[in-house]
Structure 1
C-alpha cells in the first residue's frame, strides 16, 4: 500500500466534476446512431484493461457492494482505460463487459461469475479508492493492476478472532440494550459465537447455507432456553430470553435487505429479486431454527411468558444508548469495516434509536413509521458522509440500522405461534417483515434525497446520470 507521502493529492471538486462531464458526454455520444459510424477508425480494446475491469467488478460484488455501484465503477474504469463503447451488465452472480471496436470488427465480450461471496467492506473501500484514482487519471493501467493485486492479498484490518468476537458482541449489545444484564450478555456472546462456529463447521463440509443458518439459530436458542429454565428453577430473575433475541438480531440479513431495495430502486430488478429471495431464505432459516427450539421448550414445560419477553421499548436510558452504539460498531467489525469509521457508525446507531424512540414516545407513532423516519435520517447522513469522504456508502448504512432490526418482534411472533395463537403470531411476523422493509426503504430514500441535489459523483452518479431514472420519465 502506498505511504502517506506517495498518496496523490485529493482531486479538487472542479476536476472531479470535469471528469464526470467528460464521461457523460462520451457515454451519451456512444449511445447515439452517430456513435456507430462505419467509417470511424477501429479502436481494438486492450485485453489487459478488460481483464482489470472484470476483476475489479468481480471482487467488489463478491465483497458485498451493490449492483449499481459495481456497474458505475466498471464504467468509470472502462472510460479511464479507453475501452471503446463499453456496456456493463451486473446481476447477482454474473458480471459482463462488452466493447465495440468500431468498423467491421465484432464486439468483444468478457464475463466472470461470482461463486463465493464474503462480506468485506475493507476491500470494498480500497477498491473504490482505486476506481476513483484511475478515473481521475492518477493511475496507469499497470499501476492499477498492481494495486488490485495488493488489495486481493491485503490482510483485513482485524484478525479472524476479532471478527468472530464482533459477531458475538452484536448479541451481547442487544442483550444489554434489552435489560439482560452482564450475565445474560455473556451468555448471549457465547451462544452466538458457538452458533457461528457451528455454521462454519457445516459450511466446510458443503452443507447448504439455509441449514447453516438454521443450525446457528438452534444452538443459540437452545442455550437461551436452558438458561431460562435454570433461572426459573433457581429464581435468579434473569432475562434469559434476551439471549435468543440478541442472536436473532445477529443473524438477521441487514446487508442483503438494504442491497435488494437499493438494486430495485436503481432499476436492477433481477439482482433485486435475487437478493430479496436470499433475505427471505435467511429469515426462513432463522424462523425454522428458533421456532423448533421454542416449540420443544414449551412442550417440555419451560415457562415462556409473553408478558416477560425482552424489549428495549422506547427507552432513552444510558445503557440502551450504549447498547445501540455497541450493536452498530460490533456489526461493523463483523463486516470488516475500517476501524477509523467505527466512532461515526456508533454515533449513527445512537441517532437512529433516538429518532425512533423519540417519535414513538412523543407522537405515539407505529413502529414502522418510527423505523422509517430513523432510517431516512441515517440514509441522508450516511450518503452525505460517503460523498464527503469519497468512500462507499454501504459500510455506513448497513451497521447503523442494526439497533432497529426486528429481533424482539420476530421472537414474539414465533412464541405466539408455538403457543397456539397463530393469527397473532403471523401478524407479529408480518410486522417484523414490514419493519425490515422500512429500514431498507428508508436508508435508500435518504440516499435518493442526497442524489437529487448533488452535482456529481463516482462515474457521473449525479442527478442526471442514472439510466433507470429516465427509463420511463425524464427522457423528453
Structure 2
C-alpha cells in the first residue's frame, strides 16, 4: 500500500490526471494481490483502504501531495516502474528500492539549463506573436530574471501566488526600462510573451481532463489554482505599471495580452520552439524534444488552416488538439515516454492563457468592460475544453482496445495518458519475459 500511494503521489504531483492516477494505482494493487482495494484521489491527498476479509478491520493509509511541479523525467521513470511491476520484472522489494531512487536522484538537465529553456521559450513565444528579434531578446532576458527570482522565492517557501506577482512585475518593469531607452520595442508584446510563459505550466489541460473524466473536485481545485495564478500575474503587472509611473517612465502604450501574429512560417517556427523549450524546462527526456517540436509545428499549421477558413478559435484549437492526441500515442511509444509528456507541451502554444488574463483584467476594471471580460473568459473556457477534449478524443481513436482490456478500461471515464493502457494476461506476461521485451 505504501508503494502504491508513493506511485500515485509522484504521478499526481508531476501533472498526471486524477483518472490516470486512480487507474494506475488500482492496476498495481490488483497485480500485487490487493484486490478490491479502494483508492481515492483528490487534488492534495491520496488515500487507500484494504480489507483482507470480512472479519478483519480495514487498513487505511493516506499521503499528502507536498509539492506540485511538472516533472516529466520522474513521471516517465515511475511509468516505466509501473510497467515493470505489471510485467513481473520487479518484485515488491526491487520496486520500493527503485521508487526511493527516483525520489532521491536529481535530473539529467542541470538547473541552469532549465533557466535557458525558459528563456528560449519566451523568445519563441515572442516570435510566435510577431514581435521580431528585439522583442524576443528582451522577453528572453525577462524570462531569465523571472526564473531566478522565483527560485529564490521557492527556497523561502513563499506561496505560488507571490511567484506570479513577482513574474508579472519583473516583465513589466523590464519592458518599462527598455521603453525608457532610445531602443524602439513593443513593450506590450514583451509583457505578453512572459505572461504566456508564466501561464504555460498552470495545468488547464489537467483541469479540463479531470472534469471530463468525472473527477469534479480535483477539476475545481485545478481551476481555482489557475485563476489564482492568473490573478497573481495581473497584480504583478499592475504593480509594475504603478512603479513605472512613480519613476516617470511612460508606459502609456502598454496593452498586456496584445497579439500581432506573424507570417505562417514564422508562426509555426515560434510554436515549435516554444513547445520544445517548455518540454526541456519540465525535464522531458531528451529523446522526446524533437518529436514534440515536429508535432507542434504540424498542429500549428492545422490550427491556422482551420481558423483562416472561417472557423472559430475553439474549433481550430480542437482540431489541432485532436491531431496531437492522435499521434501522441504512437510517438510516445517509440520514444518510450507516457503520451502526456508529448501531448501537453505540444498544446502549450494554443492554451487560452491570454484570454483568461484579459477577461480577469476587464472584470477588475469594471464599467462597460465587464461584458468584454465575461466574453473573454467564456472564450477561454471553450478553447480549454476544445483542447482537452480534442486530445482525449485523439487518444480514444489511437489506443487499441482489446476484449481482455475492457474491464480495466471501464473503470476509467477516458483513455490513458499515463500508466498501462490495458491489463496483460498471465500468458502475455510470460511471453514478454521470454522475449526479453
TM class by shorter chain equals: 0.7 to 0.9
Aligned to 1:321: 268
Aligned to 2:151: 200
User: Where in structure 1 are there 5+ consecutive unaligned residues?
Assistant: 1-49, 470-476
Contact 2:71 2:283 in 1 (8 A): yes
2:250 — aligned with what? 302
Q: Which range moved further: 243-252 or 344-353?
A: 344-353
Match of 1:274 among 202, 213, 221: 221
Partner of 2:428: none
* Partner Cα separation in structure 2 for residue 462 and residue 446 of structure 1: 23
State the shift of 1:391 in Å: 3.3
State the Cα deviation string for residues 35-57 of structure 1 (Å, max 9, x = none). Answer: xxxxxxxxxxxxxxx22111111
Structure of higher RCO (CA pairs closer than 8 Å, 6+ residues apart)? 2
Partner of residue 141, structure 2? 190
Aligned residues: 412
| RMSD after superposition | 3.1
1:416 deviates by 7.2
Work out whether residues 12 and 18 of structure 2, in 8 Å CA contact, stay in contact via their aligned partners in 1. Answer: yes
Q: Which residue of 2 aligns with 1:311?
A: 259
**Superposed counterparts of 1:16-95, under 5 Å:** 50-95=1-46
**Correspondence for 1:31:** none
Which residue of 265, 278, 288 corresponds with 2:235?
288
Q: Which of 95, 105, 109 in structure 2 is aligned with 1:154?
A: 105
1:392 equivalent in structure 2: 338
Cα distance in structure 2, aligned partners of 1:379 and 1:133: 25
Q: Please say if residues 327 and 349 of structure 1, whose CA atoms lie closer than 8 Å, have aligned partners that are also in contact.
A: no
Pick one of 318, 321, 334 that aligns with 1:375.
Answer: 321
Aligned to 1:105: 56
Counterpart check, 1:364 vs 2:310:
yes
Question: Is 1:257 aligned with 2:204?
Answer: yes
Structure 2: gaps of 5 or more residues: 415-437
Q: For residues 264 and 63 of structure 1, do their structure 2 counterparts lie closer, same or farther at Cα, with a shift above 3 Å needed? A: same
Q: Secondary structure at the match of 1:252?
A: helix
CA contact (8 A) 1:91 1:271 kept: yes
Q: CA deviation at 1:287?
A: 1.7
Task: Note the C-alpha offset of 1:286.
Answer: 1.1
In the alignment, which of 289, 294, 309 is matched to residue 347 of structure 1? 294
Q: Distance in 2 between matches of 1:303 and 1:283?
A: 21
Q: Is 1:338 aligned with 2:338?
A: no
Larger deviation, residues 130-139 vs 384-393: 384-393
Give the superposition deviation at 1:325: 0.9
In 2, are the aligned partners of 1:157 and 1:339 still within 8 Å (CA)? no
Q: TM (normalized to structure 2)?
A: 0.84
Are 1:466 and 2:411 an aligned pair?
A: yes
From 149, 157, 176, the counterpart of 2:127: 176
Closer, same or farther in 2 for the Cα pair 1:461/1:295, shift >3 Å? farther
